[in-house]
Amino acid sequence: MNNFIIKKINKDINNGLSIKKIKFRFPPEPNGYLHIGHIKAIYINFKLAEIYKAKINLRFDDTNPYNEHINFVKEIKNNIKWLGFRWSKITYTSDYFNILYKWAKKLIKKKKAYIEYNKNNKIYNLYNIKENLYHFKQMKDGKYKENSYVLRAKIDINSPNYHLRNPIMYRIIKKKHYRTKNKWCIFPTYDWAHGQSDYIEKITHSLCSIEFQNHNKLYNWFLKYIYNKKYNNILPKQIEFSRLNIYDTITSKRHLNILIKKKIIKKLDDPRLSTISSFKKKGYNPKYIINFIKNIGYSKRYNKISINKLELEIKKKIIKTSPKVMVLFNPIKIIINNFPKKLIEWIYIKKNKNFKKQIIPFTREIYIEKNDFKEKYDKNFFRLSSYNYVRLKYSYIIKAYKIIKKKKKIIKIFCNFFKKKKKIKSTIQWISKKYKKKIKILDYNYIFFKKKKIYNKKSIKIIKAYIDLTINNLKLKKIYQFHRIGFFYLFKKNKFKKIIYMKKKY
RNA sequence: AGACUUGUUGUGUAAUGGUAGCACAUCAGAUUUUGGUUCUGAUAGUUAAGGUUCGAAUCCUUACAAGUCUACCA
């Protein structure tokens, strides 16, 4: 790994920062599920901790009781473990409410913070230290209503950077916090809490995504006034990297929550989403996701990536490990005329990944996939027709000679089989008529918003399909390769979830 | 509109001021009982203009483009 973040850290080391003091943190707010964008942040933080043999805190940034919940804390912990990362310590911003309150009073005394209040829709500021301290205490003690009083930092009301225009440090929220319960009714804002929490935890490099770059000056401004050499002599640095954007995929908690609110999806582990929980449920291996993140790298440039890249990554790996079975989505009947009527020929398949005892029956009447037959001559079509020889997987070569139609629809095709024939361009899957079994496949696409915030409605469907007799030997929670179709995860008896289709359609 | 940040083949990402490389995609060929996989090869790039320098993707200036912010969210 080589990127601008490592260079910055190495530069700090060259300038005298002890390697032993380097420390990182990953700070999600427990207000939703982590998605693929978060994996980018998780990977860089945990990987850097590994490289520098540094500590890394998992910090729950819980400064707004409105959307936060203990269940999200649990899910986030599970997600990070599932990805294969281990934190040094779990911390909560809410554990620092006391010290943040103390530091806020310090800022008031330094005339760097003041109370703003709203009376009869007019806004007033207080500049007297004693008055400020008094009202700040009243705010804390629950004497005022929400939206009536706030504590602001006194920086520069005319700054061209909006974040420096006397930003809010505390607001009143009269809602039960999942950890501090009703103890606090004033809550620090992100800007006031974040850098200070980094300083408390002795974080040296605070990595975040690019949208916080405008906060960088404010981050440093606060630290300047709370800095205490005896408490901690190293100031943390905020480093921003570009966020991950993926075509036709939702990568923002806000949009995910809209889907829940509008009842478009029921849960945040819906297979159409790119949350870590959905990846887990779909049978993805976390290694492949990490590999994808590794490959896209880190920079400050705006980037937009195709989700295809993740899927190709997965395909190349699982093709080596997933056993093959034959499945038909749209079967069409084939009668092999020169094959004995009552004969059942049992085919033993010896080598098929980790599959044991794979035996399939071949009979006179079989089914193949509808798209694998073409009535008219086409020089670019290599599968079954009256003009082509085609091989049935694990079995004989066949060629069509008669097509039976009913109301212009093909209902069956008569073929002859051949035992030996040289160059065959294509091999197709099939299932014996008497031995086909029904399965259901959950097929889906990533859900995304089109223009005007309309989502793609046809993002999920159930396909009824047929599988050969090997279904009896399949193991739950494993990925199988449907011959020439794609890769599917067996999540319940006779029920599969799509992982990825073979790419080319022909 | 302003402030901040960023501009490297189609996409993503490298290159102490010193040979512009890598991965994926695309195209071609080989292998193949999956039109898949694998293997080999090819195509293609420093946003523009000026400056500093023996030498600039890298430093400076200007223009242009993109992204972020302008919440009592994080």
In a domain, A376, yes or no: yes
Give the CA distances from residue A116 to residues A168, A237, A276, A317, in Å, rounded to whole numbers and listed in that order.
9, 30, 42, 59
pLDDT at A176: 97
pLDDT at A145: 95
> Which tokens belong to A300?
């400050």
* A405-432: pLDDT as tens digits: 999 999 999 999 998 776 888 999 999 9
CATH code: domain of residue A164: 3.40.50.620
Residue A6's nearest nucleotide, by CA–C1', is B14
End-of-domain residue from the set A208, A241, A274:
A241
* A173-197: pLDDT as tens digits: 999 999 999 999 999 999 999 999 9
Annotated catalytic residue A29: yes
Catalytic residue among A23, A253, A383, A498: A253
pLDDT at A451: 64
Nucleotides on strand B lying under 7 Å from protein C-beta: 2-8, 11-15, 23-25, 33-38, 66-74
Spatial distance between the Cα atoms of A60 and A95, rounded to a whole number of angstroms: 10
In a domain, A220, yes or no: yes
Q: Are the CB atoms for A24 and A45 separated by under 8 Å?
A: yes
pLDDT at A452: 62
In a domain, A318, yes or no: no
Angle, CA A248 vertex, CA A247 and CA A250 arms, to 5°: 100
The low-confidence residues of chain A, meaning pLDDT below 50, are: none
pLDDT at A417: 95
Q: Are the CB atoms for A90 and A57 separated by under 8 Å?
A: yes
Annotated catalytic residue A294: no
pLDDT at A505: 59
Range of the domain at A192: 4-241
Q: Which helix (H) or strand (E) holds A466?
A: strand A460-467
Total number of residues shown for chain A: 506
Q: How far is the CA of A159 from the C1' of B62 (A)?
A: 25
Residues A146 and A19 in one domain: yes
Angle, CA A238 vertex, CA A172 and CA A204 arms, to 5°: 105
pLDDT at A1: 84
Residues in Cβ contact with A371 at an 8 Å cutoff, skipping those fewer than 6 apart: A330
In a domain, A246, yes or no: no
In a domain, A281, yes or no: no
Residues A348 and A223 in one domain: no
Annotated catalytic residue A243: yes
In a domain, A462, yes or no: yes
Residue A316's nearest nucleotide, by CA–C1', is B37
DSSP character for A181? B
In a domain, A460, yes or no: yes
Residue A486's nearest nucleotide, by CA–C1', is B36
Closest residue, by C-alpha, to the C1' of B36: A502
In a domain, A27, yes or no: yes
Q: How far is the CA of A304 from the C1' of B64 (A)?
A: 21
pLDDT at A120: 87
Residue A171's nearest nucleotide, by CA–C1', is B72
Catalytic residue among A29, A75, A201, A240: A29
pLDDT at A206: 97
pLDDT at A273: 93
Q: How far is the CA of A313 from the C1' of B17 (A)?
A: 38
Spatial distance between the Cα atoms of A162 and A184, rounded to a whole number of angstroms: 28
Identify the residue whose tokens are 């079975």: A325
Residues A104 and A8 in one domain: yes
**SS3 (DSSP) at A486:** strand
DSSP character for A401? E
